[in-house]
Amino acid sequence: MKARLIAVPLVVVLAIVAALQGSEKRVHTTYWDALGGVYTACAGVTGPGVVPGKTYTDAECEAMEVGYVRTMLAHMGRCVTAELEFYEIKAWGHFAYNVGTANFCRSTAARLLNQGKNKEACAQIAKWRFIKGKDCAVRANRCYGIVTRRAWEESTCLGANG
């Protein structure tokens, strides 16, 4: 099934939210994410819907996560107009959820996707392993989970975890 990012069916949005459960811990109370410098809740949701001091139910978290992913995909669809396979949307949605839509849209990967060079775009994912200048491939930097996440995204992007 192919679709444009701007018009992704709900089943794909739900698949991305489900995939995020493996990499984003759902936290029911709002917390300050010092790395991102932003209030965060549920599975990494940020933005105006996140209220400092609030505790969220699972249903509220799921609704926020679904809304966040829908909005994110629509924004991604403004910079990538090519139709993508379900597994590619799942991978790129998972990726952009972590790095941000603006960073995704400015990336070489987005440009390659628009050129129809999808495999080359997937190969770009592994390059996004740095956090605040630290190479997460170096285990001593204590962010190796990013490397694991990128490996999952790249293999999904190539169809291995469709």
Q: Which of 24, 65, 153, 154 is catalytic?
A: 24
Q: Is 135 part of the annotated catalytic residue set?
A: no
Q: Is 24 part of the annotated catalytic residue set?
A: yes
What is the distance between the alpha carbons of residues 111 and 162, in angstroms, rounded to a whole number? 23
What is the distance between the alpha carbons of residues 139 and 92, in angstroms, rounded to a whole number? 25
Amino acid (one-letter) located at 10: L
Please, where are the H alpha helices in 36-162? Answer: 58-79, 86-99, 101-106, 108-114, 118-124, 145-157
User: Would you state the structure tokens that stand for residue 17, as one six-digit string?
Assistant: 């939210």
Query: Which residues are known catalytic residues?
Result: 24, 33
